[in-house]
């Protein structure tokens, strides 16, 4: 097998369906990748993640370099063996989490020095070290070490930040060891400025990557602005490479971004919401702490195959949440991950059948039917 490859299976308007081939198996796209921050999709076993139909998960340089340490993960056989996850893993490169999680940090042209949010110990990430860490973790998809430009930022600030990330992208490409079934993705920056986005795409495609992520979005710009940036950026990307929109998003965001040519997604929403008692359903979001569920014998979502919906009532899940029972977040997380997988499956089937617009409208209409 050559380097990691994406091949198209069908298109419908701007939406596209395809297959991503990796060293750890093939993944139908569009794909939602559950976030497995510290080597685990929180509150889920690897078997339960697989049961949802999820094929590919995220790991993270920042968390795993701090604990248990990248070299230790390698000594434990890598992330796949350690977590008993034998499908593809994409790891983020750490820059985003350093900027959003760590306390004291100092950015310079060569990298970033920061203190661990866990024990305050000092650490440094450079493009080369980030690539090395992701190799030690065993990632199928490695992300370039970048700076996610803060929002809002002036055009000048955005240009400086983007150009630093482009210089780091070239260093990542040089440091990455090519292997069959593995790939390095570039990350497009440029904030909300079309000319800077175009400059970033040109710089990355000049270097050449197995896939292209759109970074610097879902940072507070709002859905309309995010869509506007996608409309200006996605058409500039090579049609034969996968496109990954980082950190997105709500079910509604996913539909809109698939419509604009995105193939891959990750977001903490389904897992984090599972731990904050919120359930995504075909009829909108439910807050399971709400007393109205206390004697409701209906399932979270009648159309859902997950154990929470097949075996339990809203009343039981409401009780678990109120009683602060660990099974509550487990069942809600499982359901939310299942909901996201079911959603992506429906979108993919609709693209292949040429009825994406109709399917998107039907899904959105379902959310309007106030959850009974």
Ligand X SMILES: CNc1nc2c(CCNCC3CCCCC3)c3nc(N)[nH]c(=O)c3cc2[nH]1
Residue 279 has which token pair? 């359930």
Backbone angles phi, psi at 144, to 5 degrees: -60, 150
- Assess contact for 11 and 356: CB atoms under 8 A: no
| Whole-angstrom Cα Rg for the chain | 20
**Residue span binding ligand X (CB under 6 A) among the ranges 10-18, 213-221, 326-334, 338-346:** 213-221
26 or 313: CB nearest Zn ion:
313
Kindly list the catalytic residues.
Answer: 92, 266
Among 79, 218, 306, 337, binds ligand X (CB under 6 A): 218
Residue 283 has which token pair? 């009829």
Residue 352 has which token pair? 């292949």
- CB within 8 A of 143, min separation 6: which ones? 90, 91, 92, 93, 134, 184, 185, 187, 213
Using CB under 6 A as the binding rule, the residues of this chain from 97 to 156 that contact ligand X are: 143, 146, 148
Other CB atoms closer than 10 Å to residue 256's CB: what's the count?
A: 19
Using CB under 5 A as the binding rule, the residues of this chain from 304 to 363 that contact Zn ion are: 304, 306, 308-309, 335
35 or 331: CB nearest ligand X:
35
Give dist(CA 283, CA 363) in Å, integer. 9
> Which has the closest alpha carbon to 272: 321, 316, 329, 318?
329
Q: Total binding residues for ligand X by CB under 6 A? A: 21
Residue 319 has which token pair? 């009780």
73 or 286: CB nearest Zn ion:
286
Using CB under 5 A as the binding rule, the residues of this chain from 68 to 97 that contact Zn ion are: none
Using CB under 6 A as the binding rule, the residues of this chain from 13 to 72 that contact ligand X are: 35, 37, 58, 60
Residue 264 has which token pair? 């891959």
Nearest distance, CB of residue 9 and ligand X, angstroms: 25
11 or 116: CB nearest ligand X:
116
Nearest distance, CB of residue 268 and ligand X, angstroms: 5
Residue 304 binding partner per list Zn ion, ligand X, none, with a CB distance cut-off of 5 to 8 Å that depends on partner kind: Zn ion
**Residue span binding ligand X (CB under 6 A) among the ranges 93-101, 317-325, 330-338, 361-369:** 93-101
> Which has the closest alpha carbon to 57: 95, 84, 77?
84
Tokens 């496109």 — which residue?
243
Verify binding: residue 31, Zn ion, rule CB under 5 A: no
**Residue span binding ligand X (CB under 6 A) among the ranges 175-183, 211-219, 312-320, 326-334:** 211-219
Using CB under 5 A as the binding rule, the residues of this chain from 294 to 313 that contact Zn ion are: 304, 306, 308-309
Task: Write out the residues near Zn ion by the rule CB under 5 A.
Answer: 304, 306, 308-309, 335
């Amino acid at each position: 097998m050559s380097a990691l490859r994406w091949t198209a299976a069908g298109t419908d308007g701007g939406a596209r369906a395809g297959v991503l081939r990796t060293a750890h198996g093939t993944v139908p796209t569009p794909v939602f990748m559950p976030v497995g921050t510290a080597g685990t999709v929180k509150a889920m076993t690897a078997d339960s993640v697989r049961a949802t139909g999820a094929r590919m998960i995220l790991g993270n340089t920042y968390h795993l370099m701090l604990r248990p340490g990248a070299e230790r993960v390698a000594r434990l056989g890598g992330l796949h063996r350690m977590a008993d996850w034998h499908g593809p893993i994409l790891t983020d490169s750490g820059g985003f989490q350093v900027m959003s999680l760590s306390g004291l940090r100092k950015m310079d042209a060569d990298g970033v020095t920061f203190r661990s949010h866990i024990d305050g110990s000092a650490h440094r990430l450079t493009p080369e070290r980030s690539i090395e860490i992701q190799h030690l973790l065993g990632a199928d998809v490695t992300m370039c070490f970048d700076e996610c430009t803060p929002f809002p930022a002036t055009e000048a600030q955005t240009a400086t930040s983007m150009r630093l990330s482009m210089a780091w992208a070239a260093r990542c490409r040089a440091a990455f060891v090519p292997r069959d079934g593995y790939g390095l993705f570039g990350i497009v920056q440029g904030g909300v400025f079309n000319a800077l986005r175009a400059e970033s795409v040109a710089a990355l495609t000049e270097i050449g990557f197995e896939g292209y992520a759109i970074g610097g979005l879902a940072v507070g710009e709002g859905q309309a602005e995010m869509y506007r940036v996608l409309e200006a950026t996605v058409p500039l990307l090579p049609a034969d490479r996968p496109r990954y929109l980082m950190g997105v998003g709500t079910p509604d965001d996913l539909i809109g971004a698939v419509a604009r040519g995105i193939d891959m997604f990750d977001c903490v929403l389904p897992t984090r919401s599972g731990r904050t008692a919120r359930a995504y359903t075909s009829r909108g979001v439910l807050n399971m702490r709400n007393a109205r569920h206390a004697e409701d014998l209906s399932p979270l979502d009648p159309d859902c195959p997950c154990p929470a919906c097949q075996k339990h009532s809203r009343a039981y899940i409401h009780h678990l949440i109120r009683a602060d029972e660990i099974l509550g977040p487990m069942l809600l997380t499982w359901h939310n991950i299942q909901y996201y997988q079911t959603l992506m499956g429906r979108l993919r089937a609709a693209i292949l059948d040429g009825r994406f617009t109709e399917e998107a409208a039907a899904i959105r209409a379902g959310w309007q039917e106030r959850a009974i």
